[in-house]
Structure 1
Amino acid sequence: MAQFGMQSPTGRQKKASGLNVYTAMAALACVSLAIACAVVFVYGSRVGKDGQAWGLQDPKKIQLPK
C-alpha cells in the first residue's frame, strides 16, 4: 500500500495533544469566575438581611452597615 501513498491506520500512533493557549484561557476564566462569585457573596452578606448574602431587605427600609 505504501507505493500508492496510503498508510495503514495502525502504522503510526498520534501524539496526544498537550495544553495550549485556549486551555489556559479557559482555566483562567473559570478561576476568575470563582473568585468573582466569592467576592459578590462576601459583599452581599455585608448588606444582606441578617448577614445573609441571599436575604432581601424591605425596599422601604434599606439599612447599610456603619
Structure 2
Amino acid sequence: MVGRAERSKDFAQEMVQSAASRVGNITAIITTAVVDVAREVGELITDGFEMRDAAKKAEQAQQSQDEDS
C-alpha cells in the first residue's frame, strides 16, 4: 500500500512536470509569434523600400519624358 508521503510526493512531482510542460508549450507559442511578427514587419519595411524605389523611377521616367517633349 502506498503511504501518504509517497502519494504527496507523486502528486507534487506530477504537478511540477505538468507545469513545466505547459510553460514549455507557452514559450514555444510565444517564440513562434515573435518570429512571425518580426518577419511581417521586415516584409512591410521591404515593401516600403520597393515602393519608394518604384516612385523614384516613375518620377525619373516622367522627367525624362517631359524633357523629350
The structure showing larger relative contact order (alpha-carbon pairs under 8 Å, at least 6 residues apart) is 1
TM (norm. structure 1) is 0.44
Larger C-alpha radius of gyration, 1 or 2? 2
Hey, which of these two has a bigger chunk of helix by percent?
A: 2
